[in-house]
Amino acid sequence: MEQSSMEKYVPLHVCHVNKTSIIINRAHAFLHFIAILFLIHYRLSFFFQHPKNTTIPTLPWLLIFVSELLLSLAWLFTQSYRWRPVTRTVFPERLPADDKLPAIDVFICTADPNKEPSVEVMNTVISAMALAYPPEKLHVYVSDDAGSDVTLRCTKEAWNFARYWVPFCRKYDLVTACPDVYFSSSEVDSGDFEGSEFKAARTKMEEKYEVLKQRIRRIVQQHSTTGDALHNTRDHPSIIEVINEHPEEEDEVKMPLLVYVSREKRPSHHHNFKAGALNVLLRVSTMISNSPYILMLDCDMYCNDPTSTRQAMCYYCDPQTPSSIAFVQFPQTFRNICEDDIYDGEIRNLMKIFWHGFDGVGGPTISGSNFYIKREALLGSFSKQQELMALKRSFGPSNDFIKTLVEDYKPGFIHDGESSRMLLEKANVLASCSYENQTSWGSKVGFLYFCVVEDYFTGFTLHRKGWKSVYLYPKKPQFLGIATTNFNDTSIQWTRWASGLTSVAISKFCPLIYGPLKMSWVQLMCYSELAFMPLLNCLSLWGFALIPQLCLFNDISLYPKVSDSNFNIFFIIFVSAILKSLYEVVTTGGQVLTWRNDWRIWMMRSVTSYFYGSLDVVFNKLGMKEASFLPTNKVIDDEHAKLYEMGIFDFRTATTFLAPLVTVILVNIAAFVRALVVNVVDNDRDGFWEKMFGQMFLSFYILVSNYTVIEGMIIRRDKASIPLYVTLLSGVFSVFILLIGSAILC
């Protein structure tokens, strides 16, 4: 009997181990690591020389050595992603019948209607309702953290349009579930679209969509021109409303449940940013639909492929899949990325390289959006025999909520006027800002509150408990969002991420200390790389950007002569790193220009966003500053978008982001130009060129890689160039660094 059942078993998914990549990655790591050991030996041997045999000051040698060690440690951590990369294939056509599929709740989070355009948000809502899944098993929740009447009214308008859009998608088997993309795309969707019936239906549907956009824009305009604009986003009651104005029997097909949720906010309570909103959704959805699986979406991340639900279920419905899989993560992909992605908006290293390797050693962490997660992983599993008071201490005082925990994911919502009203009143209690007081919410239950990167920390904790995850990267993007396309927004976004990651790195939850339980050591290194990335990169890059240059400015050599065999060590390490990164970019669909842009934005982030994010955590630890959460601006400015598409940097950002970049460039220019002048005027005195070649090349490489900053300072005169006052201010900083640095280091 057992053999017969095994013969009938057909897998719903397959994992492919990339053996060629493993061989290349491990061979390169081995050779590169040997070169690093030679570098360490070279640096250490300096400290054992007799003082009479060297004229080089100890402090700059020590500082550059520390910078090299930090960068080497950062490189070592990244090798964990390259240890065992895998890719995955799913077979949704093999899933069981619809009546055997589990229910799914969809969480869509929005926080600010002024920064997150309502038309875009509603397109995400509509695309979620049009997912290719049994409608009675699909429930969509819109979390409005601003408590804005605009979002509630727009959600109702979206529901009215979805009543026609969802049947239209199902009838004609559309593979583009987002109306805005469908009607603006020149590509022909799948199916038979030549008949006059379809053409008439499409024209009618497009007219309805135009009406929807006009109504949404009118609502937003009324909000901005009336007293509603004075609404306090941090002081409002909870609102939960089931958007179902038309009984199901009047609809041609069944519709997914759509629920609007706005949690209570009061100035006297800390609201824990996005994680707090997600935990309210967890409680409210448990009372209403209580689906065993949850799809998490950002408000600008619409469902591009309606079959993502079925692809994710290939892992949860496969009888041979371990029950320990907590979530299925899809990549973050974006529709507004141009070929010359100068700000690395698509986060290509993470999504196309690192996460495949993360998947091969236990699974990636939660990545903000686009993941299907098991509710049990967030809340735990329970039995009716568990003590009621113990459950209340963890989950709060609501008896009705605790009852749902032990009822094996039975939905609570009933389409009956009085019963629905009572249920929503109970759900409103769960959305109050004081409900979590003296409970385990945010510390042991739900999404965790320790830092602003709740996705990373929650995923890390789940893996630490023994849960697994998978990374599914289909050929067709399952979800498409809007990436930041200007330097200001991308700097703010990365500063926030850097702050959250660093707060984990220097806390009791540091992966190197807190992690070793049920995680493999390679997966632990992946988490450590993320946590320490801002600190390691900003400290090492600041060292490389200033220390050799100050020494070059004062005729102090930190690298071997070109004729010295030790020079080959540095040459090999540099070329090895360059070629490996270029290989990875090209093999993942990028070009040489893509590689150049990746290196440049990495250097820029290291001396700006990573630096300020790490500094923010230090100030917070000292009680000098409280961590803040600024929603990224998703409003697309035509002028910003035009510059981005042309590959031109938009430097309209705060002086705090520009000054470090310009200062580094000016210091490197001063050091490089002085070295050239000395070499020419003094006719290569005492072999100056050979002795200083390493430092001159480093400055030259920094200047060439960041030519766009020089261009913004000197050549460009448009509104998006670097202002003159920033250049002058940075000039003062540069002179100060050259004078003080020379006095200290030399």
Q: What residues are designated binding site for UDP-alpha-D-glucose? A: 115-116, 145
Encode 566-592: b = buried (16+ Cβ within 10 Å), e = exposed: ebebbbbbeeebeebbbebbeeeebee
- 3-state helix vs strand vs coil in the chain, percent to 5: 55, 10, 35
Question: Is position 145 annotated as part of the catalytic site?
Answer: yes
Q: How far is CA 650 from CA 481, 614, 643, 658, 713, in A?
A: 21, 24, 7, 11, 12
Residue ranges of the alpha helices (H) in 47-148? 58-78, 118-129
How far is the C-alpha of 746 from the C-alpha of 740, rounded, in Å? 10
- Give the residue numbers of the binding site for Mn(2+): 274, 298
Provide the β-strand partners of residue 262. 239
Residue 86 and residue 22: Cα distance in Å, rounded?
A: 9
Q: What are the two backbone dihedrals, phi and then psi, of residue 140, each rounded to the nearest 5 degrees?
A: -110, 125
618: tokens are: 């230090």
Q: In angstroms, rounded to a whole number, what is the distance separating the alpha carbons of residues 667 and 52?
A: 31
Check: CB of residue 110 under 8 Å from CB of residue 147.
no
User: How far is the C-alpha of 598 from the C-alpha of 380, rounded, in Å?
Assistant: 41
Q: Which two tokens stand for residue 721?
A: 């160039």
What are the E-state strand segments in 112-256?
A: 138-144, 239-242
Distance CA 55, CA 215 (A): 76
Active site includes 455?
yes
Read off φ and ψ for residue 197, nearest 5 degrees: -65, -45
Neighbours of 69 (CB within 10 A): 17
* Pure H helices in 562-651: 567-587, 592-607, 609-621, 638-645
Catalytic residue among 149, 455, 489, 650: 455
Which among 112, 145, 180, 598 is annotated as catalytic? 145
**CA separation for the pair 680, 99 (Å, rounded):** 82
User: Position 210: which residue type?
Assistant: E
Our CA angle for 55, 58, 59, nearest 5°, is 135
State the Cα–Cα distance between residues 584 and 21, nearest whole angstrom. Answer: 10
Contact assessment for residue 398 and residue 426, using Cβ atoms and an 8 Å cutoff = yes
What pairs with residue 107 in β-bridges?
Answer: 141, 296
Q: What are phi and psi of 348, to 5 degrees?
A: -65, -35
Annotated binding-site residue numbers: 115-116, 145, 274, 298
Catalytic residues, which ones? 145, 455
